[in-house]
Amino acid sequence: MQSNDRKEKMTSIGKAAVSNNVADHKELSNEDLAMIAGSSARFQKMNCPPPISPISSGWK
Amino acid sequence: MFQQSVNLKPHHLFTRNGILYLFFTDEIKAQKISPDLASIIESISAFATPIPPELADKLREAGLLDEPVETQSAPAAKIDINKLEFPVSNISMNIIQDCNMSCVYCYGMGGEYSHKGAMSLETARKSVDWLIENSQSVPNITIGFFGGEPLMNLPLLKETVAYAKRRGRESGKEVAFSMNTNATLITDEILAYLKREGINIAVSFDGPPEIHDSQRPFKGGKGTHETVTANIGKILAEFPDTSARGIVYGGADPLKVKEEMKRAGFKSWTIGSASPVVIAGAENHDAEETSAERMLELIAHEGNEAAEIIKQRRLPGGIVGVCLMLLATGERRIYFCGVGKGMAAISADGDIYPCHRFVGCEETKMGNIAGYKAGKMNGYHTSLVTRLPACSGCWGRFVCGGGCFYDHLSRTGDMHTPGDSYCRINLTALETAIAVYCELDDGDIAFLKAQAETGAVDKIRP
């Protein structure tokens, strides 16, 4: 799929991510903000490949 | 007859090998249930369905009712977004966009990302400076050397490590390093250097010769298995915890890949299926569906052996094993990974992308180290799994976190809409893990939880 086709298929939230706009805070609930700020912070910095994906990872 | 309205908590009810399981989406809890209870659940809809009190009692007893809980705590204070930091704490650097191999599934188009070339020393130093500045108050930062094959630009890698260590000392930050390599250029001298400098390695390796050589040839077509396996022995002698990275493509059997990784001596491994290429003008492979079927076979295998491994107080491998640890902790996963948030990729030209897989995909470029400043909440931060249209209603959302945005973009054209096979693999793995989890005793679960809390989940990373 080429770039122009992708742009047409993208949802509004996807377009916002790609355009890298600073997010509109008004769209976010306090619960959203709490999640962004809070307990899952480690998932914000998680490198690739992260756990849980169609990537099967493990230890001997 | 008096009836009362009930709301059911978000849940997933499924059967596996004739046994009924119930999974609570928000609480990340699972239990086996009776056919009697299952039929009650199935007979009512999710919202405000009037039912007799005795049925409501049964649902309440099973923890299924979504009922308001009276609390004494004050309402949560409004969060001031301007007081939060949005740091970048790890980067991957494409120190060279060129490779001595020509892997059939390479999303970087032969490691060149449509723009072949080596990173300059000036760009490398500015990349380090960019990371230090944009990591804000984060004390521990990571630099991953990527390509192409990063050992084709070893002089720059060495210069960058020396510079980053100096800048880290000056700025009070601890810098960690990693490198993804195809292992064809490894020498004793290079290994000694990597060990001295504390650079962790991940090796790309697709298992037995018939798979590895067909998927990962040198440019020119000669197989690389013989060269790579000879070097893996040297690498593991110095770095016993080195992780293997394998890709299944087309009909390649992941069980064979896994067995060969173990035979080669790897203690940790990842196996994934190939994603299509998103760089403009790229020709794409058409082997995803077969790979998906093969991945499901691997998940079934992992499920069959997971409980026995845990009983031996070892960590089960694979996506099923990781699901088990997340079930044990009950931690909600709101993002899949750090894409566009805590991690960034820097191309050989200094352009910044959300992660290493997006390099060369122009529409996702975030800026350049010369001018781009992170630190503000962006569209990736707000892409919580609860806000993604395709994921917000999924029963597995808080274990999956929304999935890999690159994979989604490459398959569906929208980074927030997963391909069908992606969800099929993920949710099958989660159901498999739930079935295993329900057979574990308290000691087993305590073991998994302890492992997860000591960071075992994150050890997948190099």
B124 and B16 assigned to the same domain: no
* Rounded Cα–Cα distance for residues B144 and B142 (Å): 7
Task: Name which of A10, A19, A54 is nearest B273 (Cβ-Cβ).
Answer: A54
Tokens 């509109």, residue located: A24
Q: Which amino acid is at B52?
A: P
**Quick check: B459 pLDDT over 90?**
no
For residue B2, the model assigns a pLDDT of: 67
- Report the gap between the CA of A19 and the closest CA in chain B (Å): 7
Give the closest residue to A53 by CA, choosing from B376, B349, B272: B272
Instruction: For residue A29, give its domain range.
Output: 3-45
B96 and B197 assigned to the same domain: yes
- Report the gap between the CA of B124 and the closest CA in chain A (Å): 20
Q: How many domains does chain B have?
A: 2
**Quick check: B178 pLDDT over 80?**
yes
DSSP string, chain A: --HHHHHHH--HHHHHHHHTPBP-GGG--HHHHHHHHTTTHHHHH--SSPSSSSEEEEE-
B377 and B279 assigned to the same domain: yes
Does a structural domain hold residue A12? yes
**Quick check: B146 pLDDT over 50?**
yes
Residue B444 phi, psi (nearest 5): -65, -45
- Write out pLDDT tens, residues B395-426: 999 999 999 999 898 888 889 999 988 999 99
B176 and B29 assigned to the same domain: no
Q: Which two tokens stand for residue B245?
A: 């990275």
For residue B197, the model assigns a pLDDT of: 97
B357 and chain A in contact, CB less than 8 A: yes
- Write out pLDDT tens, residues B231-249: 999 999 999 988 899 998 8
- Write out pLDDT tens, residues B4-34: 777 888 999 999 999 999 999 999 999 999 9
**Quick check: A58 pLDDT over 90?**
no
Does a structural domain hold residue B70? no
**Quick check: B287 pLDDT over 60?**
no
Does a structural domain hold residue B67? no
B418 and B453 assigned to the same domain: yes
CB distance B363–A3 less than 8 Å?
yes
CA distances from residue B452 to B31, B274, B443 in whole angstroms, order as listed = 21, 28, 14
Is the model more confident about B337 or about B175? B175
B144 and chain A in contact, CB less than 8 A: yes
For residue B388, the model assigns a pLDDT of: 92
User: B425: which chain A residues are within 8 Å (Cβ-Cβ)?
Assistant: 54
Radius of gyration of chain B (CA): 24
DSSP B76: P
* Band (B339; pLDDT cuts 50, 70, 90): very high
Does a structural domain hold residue A38? yes
Does a structural domain hold residue A37? yes
**Quick check: B437 pLDDT over 60?**
yes
Q: Which residues pair with B5 in a beta bridge?
A: B50
- Write out pLDDT tens, residues A1-50: 555 566 666 666 666 666 655 555 667 888 888 888 875 455 666 666 54
Does a structural domain hold residue A26? yes
Does a structural domain hold residue A41? yes
Which 3 state secondary structure label does DSSP give B119? coil
Does a structural domain hold residue B71? no
Does a structural domain hold residue A16? yes
Q: Out of B61, B79, B96, pick the residue that ends a domain.
A: B61
A29 and chain B in contact, CB less than 8 A: no
* Rounded Cα–Cα distance for residues B318 and B298 (Å): 8
Does a structural domain hold residue B342? yes
DSSP string, B355-380: SGGGTT-GGG--EETTT----S-BTT
* Rounded Cα–Cα distance for residues B292 and B274 (Å): 10
Average confidence score pLDDT of chain B = 89
CB distance B79–A34 less than 8 Å?
yes
Which 3 state secondary structure label does DSSP give B91? strand
- Write out pLDDT tens, residues B257-279: 999 999 999 888 888 888 888 87
Q: Which two tokens stand for residue B382?
A: 């707000």
Does a structural domain hold residue B118? yes
Does a structural domain hold residue B313? yes
Say which CATH number the domain at B249 has: 3.20.20.70
Task: Name which of B89, B336, B381 is nearest A50 (Cβ-Cβ).
Answer: B336
B159 and B110 assigned to the same domain: yes
Residue B158 phi, psi (nearest 5): -65, -45
B51 and B174 assigned to the same domain: no
For residue A40, the model assigns a pLDDT of: 47
Q: Which long-range contacts (CB under 8 A, 24 or more apart) does A28-31 make?
A: A28/B81, A28/B382, A30/B76, A30/B78, A30/B79
**Which residues lie below 8 Å from residue B158, measured CB to CB, with a gap of 6+?**
B193
ipTM above 0.90? no
User: A6: which chain B residues are within 8 Å (Cβ-Cβ)?
Assistant: 278, 363, 409, 413-414
Q: How many domains does chain A have?
A: 1
**Quick check: B429 pLDDT over 90?**
yes
State in Å, rounded, how far the first CA of chain A is from the last one.
Answer: 38
B176 and B123 assigned to the same domain: yes
**Quick check: B181 pLDDT over 60?**
yes
Give the closest residue to B144 by CA, choosing from B384, B403, B452, B359: B359
User: A8: which chain B residues are within 8 Å (Cβ-Cβ)?
Assistant: 413
**Quick check: B462 pLDDT over 50?**
no
For residue B185, the model assigns a pLDDT of: 98
- Write out pLDDT tens, residues B80-132: 888 888 899 999 999 999 999 999 989 888 889 988 999 999 999 999 999 99
Does a structural domain hold residue B41? yes
* Band (B460; pLDDT cuts 50, 70, 90): very low
In a mutagenesis test of the B interface, which of A8, A39, A56, A60 is the best target, namely the one with the most B β-carbons within 10 Å?
Answer: A56
Q: Which two tokens stand for residue B320?
A: 């099923």
For residue B47, the model assigns a pLDDT of: 55
**Quick check: B347 pLDDT over 70?**
yes
Which 3 state secondary structure label does DSSP give B239? coil
Instruction: For residue B49, give its domain range.
Output: 4-61
Does a structural domain hold residue B364? yes
The answer to whether the CB of B142 falls within 8 A of the CB of B102 is no
Q: Which two tokens stand for residue B54?
A: 């005795």
Does a structural domain hold residue A14? yes
CB distance B377–A36 less than 8 Å?
yes
Handedness of CA B64, B67, B73, B77 (dihedral sign): positive
Does a structural domain hold residue A53? no
Residues of B numbered 275-294 whose beta carbons fall under 8 angstroms of chain A's beta carbons: which are they? 276, 278, 280-281, 292
Rounded to an integer, the average pLDDT of B307-313 is 91
Report helix angle B318-329 to B420-437, nearest 10.
60
For residue B167, the model assigns a pLDDT of: 98
